[in-house]
A and B are shown apart, each in its own frame.
Chain A
Amino acid sequence: GDQVEQSPSALSLHEGTGSALRCNFTTTMRAVQWFRKNSRGSLINLFYLASGTKENGRLKSAFDSKERYSTLHIRDAQLEDSGTYFCAAEAGGSNAKLTFGKGTKLSVKS
């Protein structure tokens, strides 16, 4: 089965609200990256975490290697947050070989 299980697959939010995306890992991962793919197909780097939490503006991410999950919280969603969000995890000793989740398609509506 998939090593990285991402949920939900799709999410619709009204402007100003928030939610959380989650990735569960079937094996112990060394680190996780979160990306957003915009309408032009570019993968925008959001976070890299080897442990703990990081926050950037309205986004906050957490990674727990032992419990095998990572989350991405979005608060006060804006229209420009729409896009597909991916987590990608790196196993130990893998030299940054990332295993991607299937993505969460976020639609923010006014």
Chain B
Amino acid sequence: GPKVLQIPSHQIIDMGQMVTLNCDPVSNHLYFYWYKQILGQQMEFLVNFYNGKVMEKSKLFKDQFSVERPDGSYFTLKIQPTALEDSAVYFCASRGTGENLYFGSGTRLTVL
């Protein structure tokens, strides 16, 4: 089936540094999402993005977070600066004209 790729699967970064999480969504998909899962908790919505704009964001999407997809390349989540509480697994998802959301395998972010 359609695949969303997230590389790398794990990133380790020092608190205060910037990190960019990359997502290669399904080709021709139009809607893009980031979800966050803290260890032991369920996945929670962060943001959705369409036509170059943030459509909706949750309370978890702090001011230090930003998303973009320049020129149809990777859909990225940037955190600047990182904080300890940003440690989590971040899942990217995309959707085309259909209704199914397709998820990547996640990037585990560890902030030291």
Contact = CB atoms under 8 A, between A and B. Distances in A.
Interface of A: 2, 4, 31, 33, 35, 40-45, 48, 50, 86, 88, 94-103
Given A98-B43, A99-B45, 4 more contacts: A44-B1, A45-B101, A100-B35, A103-B42
Interface residues of B, number: 24
Interface of B: 1, 9, 31, 33, 35, 41-45, 48, 50, 55-56, 91, 95, 99-106
Query: Counting chain A CB atoms within 10 Å of each CB, which of B9, B41, B43, B104 scores highest?
Result: B43
B102 A45 contact: yes
Contacts of B45: 97-99
A100 B43 contact: yes
A24 B43 CA distance: 17
A64 B50 CA distance: 29
Given A96-B95, A100-B42, A100-B44, A41 B102 contact: no
